[in-house]
Amino acid sequence: MAAALVPLPRRRRPAARLLAAAVALFAAAGVLLTAAVLNAGQAALNATAAPQGACSQLLGVKKVALMFLTTRRLAHEKLWRLWLWDAANLLPLQALPALQDGLCGSDATAADAFWQRLRGDCSVVPPLVDTAGQGPTELPPQHLFTVYAHAPPDYQGLEYQPLLAGRVIPTRFKTWWGDISILDAEKALLREALKDPLNEKFALISDSDVPLYDPLTFYQQLMHEPRSRVRACANGWMNRDRWRDEMSTETMNGSHWRKSNQFFGLTRRHAEIVLNDQEAERSFREHCGGWYAHLNQWKECIADEHYVPTLLASLGLEDETYCRGWGLAYTDWSDNWIHPKSFKPRDVTPELLKKMRWNCENMTSAVEDSRHMFLPLEPLLAASSAQQACQALQAPMPPAGARSNGSDNGGSDSLLPLGSRRYAHPLDGACPLTARKLPAFTALRVRQLAVASCPNGAADFVESRAALVFKTERDPSVVLLRGTACTPDVLRQVLAPPLSAGTGTGLAAAAGAAGRRLLCTANRYSGGAAAQWLPEGLDWGELCDL
């Protein structure tokens, strides 16, 4: 796993000499990564996604399937882990009727049996701190989200990606940009996610995506949307020159040709339609792209941008999609190229996140509403009987994310009765919920921005020289984290160096802190030129977050 060296000019500047020495040290350290670690990672990679939670089954909680379509690794794996921690051990108020029926019924024996089952199936898992240097702990029970990931068959980076362990789907494809293989990977993700009957919404996420809202707002927004986040309407730029008459089928013709963002958000009904379709898929596979005789030229078709919206349009389902948006993710095409703009660390500011949100109406109100739309499990499980648990449901509860000392992310702390809480100010369905492309070298900056959105003082427990460089003032209008993810134990756990010296085989033990500092310093003074020598599976944000 040694990094390849690139010859430097004979007359080297001091920075070049420093860079060469650092790369040599890093390359020597790389060979010490043992086969045992790689084999363990591959074994975890081959595991299928974990089965649905018993708690969600008991209460019938509908979930959002997060489907990560990766080419190598998740650039923001630590951020997504923190983000999911913020949803830990919370139930949506949509589960309230099932709780009331089970705990507050007139049959005391049935209520007690339900309460006992609730305590068993929905037991709270506290944040666990990795004190033995054995690597990250599992995420706590998720009642809001399920995670699936598609990785290339030859993926070798799992040991650096705890979020993916046990969540990579078994059927995987080698994918290429613009190729029909992307569609194969998307359908493989849908096939696995649809196996869980409680998955209600299906969000496709790229390996360079970041969330634009906290998980509670993300969840409630999708659950309150009756339509799919796909643009299946005949408006906007659709690259009509990519259509050719050979693609026509009994139900699909040129009038149905559509274009949308590849990264969609589908309802369950639409996800089933996409997965079960064979006719339109066969047409795309055989005729989309290649030599267009009527144009006398070869063209790329980019099936992943056209297939889903064209299929839905051919079935007359345009009105079941959001026509003014482009899908789930914000994408910047201002560079006028075939690929969207890739942002740099210096671009990542609260102002950029607001722009990525399209400065949509109700941005603040939707976040405030969602705080009141979740129920912590602890009061119910701490009760001594079903009757007490029922009484806890009747009592006002603080909003999700409120701190024990009374401080939180702002807004009203009034203890609203559970039955009166509403997601009254939803976002428009065209408003993006994720954003791309933020490559791996922006990971540290993006995480710092997310942690800065925690309640005041929450992030002070994390000591990081790199974090001090990227110090960000908290902007209360940009909230990505606000609850469990902001506690010191979870922050230390997730933001720890990716390779623990306790394993005896990681890069931390091989190169040592001095070697990492040398390489990070060399990269900084070389203007990022050392990035080409970074071994697969690491990025500068991971390596230099010491």
pLDDT bin (cut points 50, 70, 90) of residue 138 is: low
| Burial track 411-447 (b if 16+ CB lie within 10 A, e otherwise) | beeeeeebeebebeebbebebbbbbbbbbbbbbbbbb
The reported pLDDT for the residue numbered 407 is 42
pTM for the full model? 0.81
The reported pLDDT for the residue numbered 115 is 92
Tell me whether residue 175 is in a domain. Answer: yes
Tell me whether residue 273 is in a domain. Answer: no
Tell me whether residue 412 is in a domain. Answer: no
Tell me whether residue 460 is in a domain. Answer: yes
Q: What is the residue-averaged pLDDT of the chain?
A: 78
Tell me whether residue 153 is in a domain. Answer: yes
pLDDT bin (cut points 50, 70, 90) of residue 456 is: low
Tell me whether residue 179 is in a domain. Answer: yes
The reported pLDDT for the residue numbered 516 is 54
Give the residue, 473 or 9, on which the prediction is more confident.
473
Domain count of the fold of the chain: 1
Which range marks the domain in which residue 344 is found? 54-128+135-225+322-400+422-496
Mean pLDDT of 371-397: 88
Mean pLDDT of 56-70: 94
Tens-digit pLDDT profile for residues 44-62: 334 333 334 788 999 999 9
Tell me whether residue 216 is in a domain. Answer: yes
Tens-digit pLDDT profile for residues 373-385: 998 888 888 899 9
Percent with pLDDT over 90 in the chain = 45
Tell me whether residue 346 is in a domain. Answer: yes
Tens-digit pLDDT profile for residues 300-351: 788 999 999 999 999 999 999 998 888 999 999 887 777 889 999 989 999 9
Residue of 487, 439, 426, 440 whose CA lies nearest to 462: 487
Full strand arrangement of the beta sheet holding 434-435: 210-211, 434-435, 329-330
Tens-digit pLDDT profile for residues 22-43: 444 444 444 333 333 333 334 4
Mean pLDDT of 129-143: 55
The reported pLDDT for the residue numbered 505 is 35
pLDDT tops 50 at residue 408: no
pLDDT tops 50 at residue 502: no
